[in-house]
Amino acid sequence: MTSNFIVADKFQEVKTSVTLLEAIERYGLNPIKKGSRYWALCPFHADKNPSMAIYDEAYHCYGCQAHGDVIDFTARYFNITPLEATKKLASDFGIRLEGSKPSKEAQRKIRQKQELDKLYKEYNKKFNEVYDYLCRLNQLYQKIKQAIETPEDMDIPEFVEACHMQDIVQYWLNVLLDGNIKEKIQVLKEVQEWKQRRK
Ligand SMILES: [Zn+2]
């Protein structure tokens, strides 16, 4: 038995005992319910409208892309290590960590989470890249469309493309902002394919 297993087990125990919403409320944020979800002002960037969504097991800020679970949140919020955050949560919420036995199940969950985190990081990097690209494209199309002066201009291929593509680009941007994770990944693929075809 190594101490890593014990630490992993503590992480798991705290995560199953304290929900994100409970921790976020306790530490002074005031989440508000919109539809079926809670939202809070993001403490990790200068947020004017609540852009941090509180999911069951993760928070996600649509402003600065901050993302993580209850331990990540506490660690970042108080600028402490994940282990210190785990201990803080345990003490603030009255969870006894001593004497908990490391289980295979806890180890499996930790490994699963690490894999998910890795996937999410890769996805996030790509997401930002594509999102910025689409924003620039949208602005460019806007400028091209503003330059249209006479009906004859509409015969210029760049104008035709701008008119047609701006709708699609705006649709992609909307999905990247508001879609669920599956829809977003689909858009990333579509943009990739579209870029390939243009070359
Ligand atoms: Zn943020």
Structural domains of the chain, ranges and CATH numbers in brackets: 3-101 (3.90.580.10), 105-198 (no CATH)
Rounded Cα distance between 198 and 153, Å, is 22
Give distance in angstroms: CA of 139 to centre of ligand 1. 24
Question: Tell me, what's the pLDDT at 105?
Answer: 67
Q: Using an 8 Å Cβ cutoff, are 19 and 31 in contact?
A: no
Question: Tell me, what's the pLDDT at 98?
Answer: 67
Give distance in angstroms: CA of 145 to centre of ligand 1. 33
Residue 127 amino acid letter: F
Give distance in angstroms: CA of 49 to centre of ligand 1. 10
Rounded Cα distance between 130 and 195, Å, is 11
Q: Kindly tell me the burial class for residue 133, based on how many C-beta atoms sit within 10 Å of its own C-beta (0-12, 13-18, 19 or more).
A: middle
Rounded Cα distance between 12 and 59, Å, is 17
Once rounded to an integer, what is the mean pLDDT over residues 164-190? 86
pLDDT digits (tens, 9 = 90+) for 43-80: 999 999 999 999 878 899 988 989 999 999 999 999 99
Say which residues have a Cβ less than 8 Å from residue 57's Cβ, sequence separation at least 6.
15, 20, 69
Give distance in angstroms: CA of 50 to centre of ligand 1. 9
Give distance in angstroms: CA of 46 to centre of ligand 1. 7
Give distance in angstroms: CA of 192 to centre of ligand 1. 27
Question: Tell me, what's the pLDDT at 137?
Answer: 92
- Other residues' Cβ atoms within 10 Å of the Cβ of residue 73: 25
Mean pLDDT of the chain: 85
Highest averaged pLDDT of the listed ranges 6-20, 47-61, 69-83, 154-168:
69-83
Once rounded to an integer, what is the mean pLDDT over residues 1-18? 72
Poorest-pLDDT segment among 5-9, 61-65, 85-89: 5-9
Question: Percent of the chain having pLDDT more than 90?
Answer: 36
Q: Using an 8 Å Cβ cutoff, are 86 and 71 in contact?
A: yes
Question: Tell me, what's the pLDDT at 2?
Answer: 46
Give distance in angstroms: CA of 51 to centre of ligand 1. 7
Give distance in angstroms: CA of 64 to centre of ligand 1. 4
Rounded Cα distance between 104 and 84, Å, is 23
